[in-house]
Amino acid sequence: MDFNDLTPEQREAILAAQKNEITEYHIYTKLSASIKDQHNKEVLAEIADEELAHYKFWQRITRQDMKPDRWKVWLYFIISRVFGLTFGVKLMEKGEQRAEEVYTKLADTMPEIHKIVQDEDRHEKKLMELIEEEHLNYVGSMVLGLNDALVELTGTLAGLTFALQNTRLIALSGFITGIAASFSMAASEYLSTKSEGESQIPIKAAIYTGLAYVFTVLFLIFPYLLFESYFLCLGLTVINAVLVILIFNFYVSVAKDLDFKRRFLEMVSISLGVAALSFLIGFLVRVFLGVEV
């Protein structure tokens, strides 16, 4: 088949696929060279070799050399180093799914593409066999700490905002409540993990739960330390809560192959619902009990 005989759309799709393959070859090669785990290193190196073979397949058709997208190579390398190999590789894997759609459109014209599609399917299975990173084994503990902090502290701050109407007092009360609750949650997670005899180490589960709680607390009360308007602070706190839910659920959905939209909407609904109810309680306390600060 002559490359010039193809339609402009087909030529563009093939050139994009060729560039994508050489880019992913460099990504996998760089990741393989940077990690210590021998099993992960070998799997990534093997996948890199297959990506290079795919690139050469397209090169024989286009008779052109393509340079990798260096920005994309460094982007996924940095993401994998900062957020973990599993997250970085699976995020890139979603890009491979888009590449498979291109291959499917070209399959009728070039039957050899079926082998590439099969290779991409094997990539996904091999990636799933990568040894799990330790922190992913404790995602449940992090979810527990983060979700409890979001629901409890967002509600607490909403209630305190109307009851106290003083940003410094609200921040102090929220901080004390949040730190005490984080210790309580960490202790509960320790006892729960220990009693259930799971594969997790109880002390690590407690640490992950406590840290997720503390960081969430600090992020939520931060606006009250910057501004004087308590309603502005409450609005920013709600925005911060939604951002935390968005970022964390995106991370977990990619790393653990979970439904992002359903989990995100569920957590947002619960957190904002509790905040609204607590705000109403704070209003009633101030009005009917005559609390003035």
pLDDT at 190: 82
What does R_g of the chain's alpha carbons equal in angstroms? 25
Say which residue, 194 or 130, is predicted with more confidence: 194
CB 221 within 8 A of CB 176: no
- Considering the chain, what percentage of its residues have pLDDT values greater than 90? 12
- 112-116, 246-250, 268-272: segment of lowest average pLDDT: 112-116
Confidence of residue 288 (pLDDT cuts 50, 70, 90): low
pLDDT confidence of residue 102:
65
Contact present, 13 and 103 (Cβ < 8 Å)? no
pLDDT in tens, 145-192: 777 777 778 878 877 887 778 899 989 988 998 888 888 888 887 887
Average pLDDT over every residue of 30-43:
85
pLDDT, residue 186, reads: 83
pLDDT above 90 (res 258): no
- Judge whether residue 26 has pLDDT over 90: yes
Query: For 94-116, what is the mean pLDDT?
Result: 66
pLDDT of 280 > 70? The answer is yes
pLDDT attached to residue 292: 54
Looking at the domain that runs over 3-131, which CATH code has it been given? 1.20.1260
How high is the pLDDT of residue 221?
92
Per-domain residue ranges for the chain? 3-131, 136-288
Q: What is the pLDDT of residues 123-150, one digit of tens each?
A: 666 666 665 566 666 666 677 677 777 7
Q: Provide the pLDDT for residue 25.
A: 92
Which of 44-58, 84-98, 156-170, 249-263 comes out lowest in average pLDDT?
84-98
The per-residue pLDDT for range 198-251, each reduced to its tens digit, is: 556 788 878 888 888 888 889 989 999 999 898 899 889 889 888 888 888 888
Question: Cα–Cα distance between 245 and 259 in angstroms, integer?
Answer: 14
pTM of the model: 0.68
Q: What is the pLDDT of residue 69?
A: 92
The 3-class SS string of the chain reads: CCHHHCCHHHHHHHHHHHHHHHHHHHHHHHHHHHCCCHHHHHHHHHHHHHHHHHHHHHHHHHCCCCCCCHHHHHHHHHHHHHHCHHHHHHHHHHHHHHHHHHHHHHCCCCCCHHHHHHHHHHHHHHHHCCCCCHHHHHHHHHHHHHHHHHHHHHHHHHHHHHHHCCHHHHHHHHHHHHHHHHHHHHHHHHHHHHHHCCCCCHHHHHHHHHHHHHHHHHHHHHHHHHCCCHHHHHHHHHHHHHHHHHHHHHHHHHHCCCCHHHHHHHHHHHHHHHHHHHHHHHHHHHHHCCCCC
The tokens for 51 are 């990506």
CA distances in angstroms from 119 to 54, 110, 156, 189, 251, listed in the order given: 9, 16, 52, 42, 26
Mean pLDDT of the chain: 79
Rounded to 10 deg, the angle between the 139-164 and 202-226 helix axes is 30
Kindly provide the b/e burial profile for residues 254-283, where b requires at least 16 CB atoms within 10 angstroms of the residue's own CB: bbeeeeeeebbeebbebbbebbeebbeebe
pLDDT of residue 290: 58
Categorize the per-residue pLDDT at 43 as very low, low, confident or very high, splitting at 50, 70 and 90: confident
